[in-house]
Amino acid sequence: MRILLYNPDNGVTRNFMPHLWMFLLQALTPAGHEVVLIDGNAQPMDEAGIARFVREQNIGLVGIGAMTRMIAKAYRMADAIRAVGVPVVMGGPHVTEEADEALGRNGGPRHADAVALGEADETWPRIVADAERGHLKDIYAPVDAFGQESKPSLKEYPAIPWDKINLAQFNLVPKMAARTLQRIGDGWGTFRIIPMESGRGCPYGCEFCTVTGFFGDSIRFRTNESVVNELLLLKARAKSEGGQIAVFFIDDNFAINIKRTKSLLRDIIAAGAQVHWVAQISANLLRDEELVDLIAASGGKWVFIGMESIDPTNLADVNKGFNKPGEYAAVLQRLAARNVYAITSFIFGMDNDTVGVAERTLKEIRTWPAGLPIFGLLTPLPATPLYKRLEAAGRLTRPKHWQEFIPFAMAHTPLKMTIEEAHAEVRAGWAHAYSPEAMAQAVDSLKDKPLGYRINIFIARMCFRGIYFPQMGPLSWLKLIYQNRRTIFSLVKEGFAAWHGRPARTAPDESLETGIPAA
Ligand code: B12
Ligand code: SF4
């Protein structure tokens, strides 16, 4: 049977990284089936396009995975596929919490023939077998022989065949530049950000987060050996095709068990398996100097930190009191001292936020080493403690907000601001943090660093914004480039000066040790 695994885009912004679940389920598919992957972020498709694709390619089963904000599109695509007679199974965090919605059991239309609840590592082979026999069940739940929920152990993790998978759709280097760039340095003909997990689960239970409920509060890890082998495979592939690879460790808290993280990083270094990598680590775990040394030595370039707020009352409200705003600056300096930078994530519209929260936050950010700030709004995702609290208090204004995805729009009323004021704050956060002046300031604040690092920060800032903020199409890119022409010109000028051996701010031998351009 030919199986299509499809991940929809949200129709507004674009991710730069493919989704792990597709590669994982592909690797877990029993022999004898052919699996085709389409990520809507890389290959945008509409309903007619996907219906044509499944018919022309003789697809016998479609698997769709989606986050809450992509679910409306996922349902539309599923409807189009089912209309041409091909069964659809849906999985992922949203349908796990809203299975009745996907199955049309709550009064709405049915979108999926079957739903895979929770982690599907062990149920997927069963789903494929049932689909082949034409006997799909409505619901597949990960349970043991006694009907108890069972979480897959990651000790026997499948080897994802990165050396063989067709990754053409995930190359971030534009086609027309690939040939030329292949000859630069070790080769830049391809550049891909690859998702990889080393463990699952998070015990912290922040109120707005899906993870503790979905993956559980006990953490499961892969063996160091399996992670190292995967890195080596990826590294070899990049080398063989004259390209670059960076890895996003998608673990929710990569250093949740510091001892184990250190042992993994030491094994990566010992095996020469370093690639440039990004990971999510909470600020409280980055107090450990040895950990930060190992992060840098093992290829760590960017750390995503869920700072959420600079206000301790807000943090306590969402059960994230372990974040201490007073130590954010020290944590970021500790990272920057090793040339590791931070993606700092903030949420506005929290209950103690008042008008001006964006400017207060930006004022703090400007005192920190340059990084990639991101701003979102507090969003009640289905089944989270936050959703339940706001629902009980009658504060949800759009209880089924996912049925119509609107970027940067609240679904409840904050306590000390209006919804419109919260929207204005998030717009101000993005506008000021990524204005041409802020970009220039970020590059300039790194004047003691090699040119490569400054170029890296600049490119990362240009690209990263596009994951969260609409930045689609060549025109909006050209506009962005034009607005930032001064910074681009000064970086290029400095690069030429260094290249021609003229005195420049940067020593030539260190000038092109770039990190990854985007995460
Ligand atoms: C990496 C990541 C991202 C990446 C992009 C996604 C990517 N390319 O991988 C980035 C950093 C860009 C990102 C952004 C956002 N993310 Co995010 N992200 C993650 C993260 C950390 C890892 C995803 C992952 O690969 N997990 C590991 C795989 C193995 O798990 P999985 O995807 O759930 O798949 C398993 C099962 O769900 C199931 N399954 C999944 N799909 C399918 C499909 C089928 C057919 C079947 C059978 C089974 C199945 O089987 C898999 C194996 O067991 C998760 C948290 C997490 N730990 O999952 C959050 C998470 C998915 N993100 C989340 C959110 C909210 C966001 C943002 C909206 C944040 C924001 N406010 O801006 C943005 C949206 C971006 C956008 N473009 O719209 C939420 C989603 C909650 C929800 N209900 O939808 C999560 C769960 C985190 C959280 N705090 O709650 N994210
Ligand atoms: S630390 Fe991160 S992953 Fe863990 S519960 Fe909080 S937000 Fe979710």
Stated pTM of the model: 0.92
**Among the bound ligands, the one closest to the CA of 320:** 2
Alpha carbon distance 388, 382 (integer Å)? 8
Hey, whose CA ends up nearest to atom 78 of ligand 1? Answer: 10
DSSP assignment letter at 156: G
Q: Show the CA angle centred on residue 198, arms to residues 143 and 343, nearest 5°.
A: 120
Q: Half-sphere exposure of 514 toward its Cβ, with a 13 Å CA cutoff?
A: 22
- pLDDT for position 97: 96
- pLDDT for position 468: 67
- pLDDT for position 464: 74
User: Cβ(66)–Cβ(92) under 8 Å?
Assistant: yes
User: Cβ(517)–Cβ(456) under 8 Å?
Assistant: yes
Q: How far is the first Cα of the chain from the last one, in angstroms, to the nearest whole number?
A: 35
- pLDDT for position 507: 37
Tell me the CA–centroid distance for residue 210 and ligand 2, in Å: 8
Please report, for residues 198, 290, 314, 349, the alpha-carbon distance to residue 389 in angstroms, rounded to integers and kept in the order given.
32, 40, 15, 15
Tell me the CA–centroid distance for residue 206 and ligand 2, in Å: 5
3-class DSSP assignment, residue 348: strand
**Element holding 249 (H helix, E strand):** strand 244-249
Sign of CA dihedral 430, 436, 438, 443: positive
Both tokens of residue 245?
């690879």
Alpha carbon distance 251, 197 (integer Å)? 5
What are the pocket residues of ligand 2 if the criterion is a CB atom closer than 6 Å to any ligand atom?
202, 204-206, 209, 211-212, 252-253, 282, 306
User: Cβ(173)–Cβ(190) under 8 Å?
Assistant: yes
**Among the bound ligands, the one closest to the CA of 69:** 1
CB-based burial, 455-468: b 16+ in 10 Å, e otherwise: bbbbbbbbbbbbbb
Q: Give the chain's residues under pLDDT 50.
A: 504-519
On the 0-12 / 13-18 / 19+ scale of CB atoms within 10 A, 481 is exposed
Q: Where are the alpha helices (DSSP H) in 150-302?
A: 175-181, 211-215, 224-240, 258-270, 289-297
Span 441-471, pLDDT tens digits: 999 988 888 888 888 888 888 877 766 666 5
Q: Amino acid letter at 57?
A: Q
Sign of CA dihedral 207, 211, 214, 219: negative
- pLDDT for position 452: 82
Q: Which atom of ligand 1 is nearest to the CA of 97?
A: 83
Tell me the CA–centroid distance for residue 334 and ligand 2, in Å: 22
- pLDDT for position 519: 27
Nearest to 190 by CA among 175, 207, 200: 175
User: Cβ(328)–Cβ(283) under 8 Å?
Assistant: yes
User: Phi and psi dihedrals of 448, rounded to 5?
Assistant: -85, -5
